[in-house]
Structure 1
Amino acid sequence: MSASKREELVSKALDSFYQGGFHAIGMDRLAKETGVSKTAIYKHFRTKEDLILATLRLRDEQFRNWLQRRTEAITDDPRARLLAIFDALGEWFDEPGFRSCMFVKASSEYQQRDHPIHAVSAEHKSLLARYFEELTTKAGAPEPRELAYQLLLIKEGAIVMAHLHDPKEVTRKAKRLAEVTINAGFGE
């Protein structure tokens, strides 16, 4: 299997796992949904968990790149970008294929903190926290790390709530909470 075929497999597997879950999608179903035989899958991935790790790494790259590009496209103002995060999230919540956070799902299915799948999921959240801290630093927040973590908590809660309830209402409320949090973080 060429590198491009491998990438295509990982991309298709990502879609399958995102829609159906990790334990619920067996290798037979994965082969059927991706159009790649189990033999071919196992030529590149020793185990199903290795394939899951590859899909999580791809999703991490895709999501963080998208969120950063979208947030920066919404506004040039460093402080306004802190709220633009929630505008971008609202767009994601409105997508027909939105099924919550793949990393929350993964860490729920692989709950041991030392499990590689759980660790990759935690690393994704750490990388998002770093990006949020970059934004809060550029915005001039007195305590950028603290404000970044608070915004990350709001973001995570919004993702879960948007999966369970009306995404537009969740977006509106999350953005309002973020605005209050940002103002408090700047001592206003």
Structure 2
Amino acid sequence: MDSTIKKMRGELSRYGWYWGKLNRNSAQKKLARKENGSFLVRDSQTEELFTVSFRSSGITLHCRIDYTNNFWSLSGLKTPTKCGSLIELIEDTMKKSEFGIIGYVKQNSSLTPPFPVRLTKPINRLYVVPSLQHLCRFTIRQNIDFKDIDVLPLPGKLKTYIIENFWDF
């Protein structure tokens, strides 16, 4: 499964709605005050998988993206769409969302009702103007294999910066 996830990350990096290693709090900041239906896809913090963070009913929610038996699906939906690639899943979900709610996702509390899921407005990381520092990090990460960053002739603090919080700018 590790090679599948690694390959998928490479493919996802071409899509603006994929933010990579973005934690939950940073995703909430990116989505704050955005319209319902706004979303981004990011690496999950708890497993080697992915999460879609989206706006619904005026709040930001987070839904795990499952990978089971070679199919991707949104976790927690009663009748989830299953697709052969995560990109296909997001594109299909966006298309279905044009016509209405694709399902409901339940949060941890039994006191809150399920929230409607619609992914209509991708938050595109490519439209955000990054700092020169981030652009340098991006260029290095695009041209150097991740495992080789440690052997670059750079100070340790700079290597740490290149490795951490790649999409958080």
Higher helix share: 1
TM-score by length of 2: 0.25
TM-score by length of 1: 0.23
Larger Rg: 1
